[in-house]
Amino acid sequence: MNLIHIHHRSQNHAGKSGYSRLTDYMPVTSIYGNTRLPYYVAKLVSKPHSNKRGLYNAGSVWKEAELLDHLRRSRKESSVVHYLNAERDVRYFVKFRKFFPVTKFYGTFHKPPEVLYQTITDFKILQNLHGAIAVGENQVEFLKEKLRLQNIAFIPHGVDTGFFTPDPVKKESNTIIFVGNHLRDFDAFNFCIPRIAEKVKGLKVHVVLPKDHQNRITPHKSISIHSNVGDQELKQLYNLSSLLFLPLKNVTACNSLLEGLACGLPIVSTDVGGNRSYMEGTKNVLLPKGENIAYIDAIVHLLSTPETLLEMAISSREKALRLSWEKIAQKVTAFYEDLSKG
């Protein structure tokens, strides 16, 4: 079977993060959009396409041009084409899939149903996929309804457990880390931190987020903001911290949460979206959205009970090992093989 991944990578992800890492654990050909097609032609081709069917731009055209060249050269071989982010780049090939009878087209979806419903209002093109992967359990029924497919599988997002590893020697007491900006509950964070600082002596808070989102953090003497951090610095910040505080508005899978798990961090987060399945089997704390006082009480209590933090840390790392990219790649491969039999 000829495996092809249509690559996509968020610019906000660390080098060792993001769903595109799946490619590193499978024998695949990656399509990046490497083609001689001039930009003005790609722009012209993409212009008539409505983003109501998913994002489609000049980069998407370049990817389709490269994919066409690849499928022409292997047209007699059974192939799987997997759009790593099916919320973008999906157009001509799935629309005209009948011309590629030995090729199956799959896609992975990342956004919560509430966000997908706002960003993609026309699912006709996506209904031509042969199957889809949801990285959040909260996506499955929505995708079955909108894509009119039964071949929808929840396969968790993975994490690089070889890179993101615990280092208890570096641990500092009374230190919180908050990472990222997408669907983060900044109101909750800004409410909680000064109140936690009143109750926890010497509190330190590391905030890691893009520079253009720094203004979403209310300044406080306990807070240090880090932007444009590299992989090693990010891992060091995780390992310096006592716990990960990640209040969320919604979520399917969250790279920051996965990295925190892999680094053996205790986690306080929000019981929303797909979060519960990623925290299941751990001793970490999930609280209802909007329960800011409960966040404060939980964090203050945990920072004063190191034995509980240690139990949570051990359970986090154990959970991460079950979500290693090696294991997730095996599940994705099984998904391909199961559907190829149909």
- Summarize pLDDT for 299-320 with one digit per residue, the tens: 999 999 999 999 999 999 999 9
* pLDDT tens per residue across span 137-149: 999 999 999 999 9
Strands 103-109 and 79-83: parallel
End-to-end distance of the chain based on CA atoms, in angstroms? 15
CATH code of the domain occupying 2-158+324-340: 3.40.50.2000
Is residue 181 within 8 A of residue 247, CB to CB? The reply is no
pTM score, whole prediction: 0.95
Residue ranges per structural domain of the chain: 2-158+324-340, 168-322
Q: Which CATH class is domain 168-322?
A: alpha beta
Q: What is the pLDDT of residues 154-169, one digit of tens each?
A: 999 999 999 999 997 7
Angle, CA of 242, 248 and 250, to the nearest 5°: 145
Give the tens place of pLDDT for each residue, 166-208. 997 789 999 999 999 999 999 999 999 999 999 999 999 999 9
For 279, which DSSP code? H
Collapsing DSSP to helix, strand or coil, 162 comes out as: coil
